[in-house]
Amino acid sequence: MLNFQRIIAVALLLLLGQPFAMQRPLLADEPLDIPAGGKKEVRFVLLDEERSRILDLFQATGETISPNGTLELIYNFASKNEQLGEDWAPIPTNPFGRIGQSVRWTRGGEGAMVGVSGGIYIADKGQWFHRAVWKPQVKVESTYYSFCGGSAGDMFAATYAWTKGLRRRVGSNLGSQVMRISGVKPAGGIGKPSEIIFREPVHFGFELKDGQFSAQRGGRTLEQSSSSKFLKKLDSGQVGFVWSGNIRCCITKVTLRGQLDLDWAAKSIPSLKTRLKEHEASKGSR
């Protein structure tokens, strides 16, 4: 008799619980997961061959790209592989290149001064940009060593630049400041500058995501902004470094990760250009 009563009790609980079960959240692939307008957006997906040809555009130490166009490039400049410099402008001169060149490979025992085997030597004032064009969804990480102590007003910034001639620029000054940059000079910022210390490695960079620029140092965000003061008319652009002041330093490693501007890549890959046009046309017809 007790077993029969238990069976009845369980059945009642199941019946009473049905309305709550029917209120469960819908999964992402269920019918209500449809954007306003009643149509799902069809994303462009790179073919395996297209991904391979995009990676062929670069000389990085390590490189990967996902089907949706998220590209990661790793440059280990301490390896002294001079081909790595071909993805950047200006291309670093060899150790015994033109005198006065502000971007070159380290010479002889220069790297040993800061405890590294080699890297890219940077001095005085200037700029150094990677040639790829990115959507404004990109992250830069770098390792920096200074050959000297710093001075007031020094700037060494991992930079995102856009518009014609890369005139609009926002930078992460050694990860502790968000800087607006005019040419190669600081033009206002937020945060306090970090002290530049001889031989001390600095791991810094930035993340630009969803309209917000974050200056990062040691894996942490120290300052960030989404103000139009820094990000006016934000658009696809290039990443690199801009510096001025009493700068003599060495960059040993740079990692770039973000959404590649596929229209830029398509200029070198005709079949990709054709497929992108077809994709845009199909979006307009839906």
pLDDT for 102: 86
Residue segments in the chain with a per-residue pLDDT below the cut of 70: 1-40, 97-100, 284-286
Run of H or E including 204: strand 202-209
- CA gap 33, 27 in Å, rounded: 8
- Between strands 220-225 and 120-123, the pairing is unpaired
* pLDDT tens-place string over residues 158-179: 999 999 999 999 999 999 999 9
pLDDT for 94: 83
**The tokens of 66 are what?**
């996902």
- Taking the alpha carbons at both ends of the chain, their separation in whole angstroms is 64
Residue 202, C-beta contacts closer than 8 angstroms, at least 6 positions apart: 143, 144, 145, 146, 174, 175, 194, 217
Residue 17: strand, helix, or coil: helix
pLDDT for 28: 29
* pLDDT tens-place string over residues 202-211: 999 999 999 9
Peptide bond into 90 cis (omega under 30): yes
pTM: 0.84
Return the CATH class of domain 49-266: mainly beta
Neighbours of 85 (CB within 10 A): 21
pLDDT for 216: 98
DSSP string covering 113-142? HTT-S--EEEESSEEEEES--EEEEEEEEE
Contact 86/43 with Cβ under 8 angstroms?
Answer: no
pLDDT for 272: 97
Sign of CA dihedral 188, 193, 199, 201: negative
